[in-house]
Amino acid sequence: MLQLIYISTARQPLAQGALEALLATARRNNRFVGVTGLLLAGGKRFLQALEGPEQSVLHIFDKISADDRHSGIVQLSRREVAQREFGSWEMAFEPAGVGVSGKGLRAEVEGLVGNIQDRNLRAQFTGFAEIHGRAA
């Protein structure tokens, strides 16, 4: 199974409604091809992990890379994993600032990635949440 992690910048800020619509489409499409992961949004920055069958992950990443709403897409990690590290959800999402539970973005993200064994991988997501949670 392939795990791919990237960061990107939105060319324009996305309104909450537009972001939720994009997420609904991504969840449906990802579920159809067996891809799961985690998406964090912080202002205009996005950090996302995609996990699943190699061809499915690469296809989705190619579509994301070709989407003109993004710029500065940087692949941070691409590796084979024996099992999903981001759980079995289709796509989890936490907006910047206060997390869904009201505890703050960093607390939300720590709860989502707390079981990930790879400390560096965990740190990428908690660090992003720390920086972008303060900026919101």
Pairing of strands 92-94, 36-42: parallel
Q: Higher model confidence: residue 83 or residue 111?
A: 83
CATH of the domain at 52: 3.30.70.100
Residue 93, domain extent:
2-135
- CB proximity list for 5: less than 8 A, separation 6 or greater: 47, 48, 49, 50, 75, 76, 77, 78, 121, 124
Q: What is the CA radius of gyration of the chain?
A: 14
CA distance 118 to 123: 9
Q: In the prediction, which pLDDT does 98 show?
A: 44
pLDDT at 90 over 70: no
Q: What total number of domains does the chain contain?
A: 1
Phi-psi region of 125 (alpha: psi -120 to 50; beta: other; left: phi over 0): alpha
Q: What is the mean pLDDT of the chain?
A: 82
Q: In the prediction, which pLDDT does 130 show?
A: 80
78-92: average pLDDT: 80
Structure confidence by residue, pLDDT tens digits, 19-70: 788 888 888 888 899 999 888 877 788 889 999 999 999 999 999 999 998 8
Q: In the prediction, which pLDDT does 133 show?
A: 66
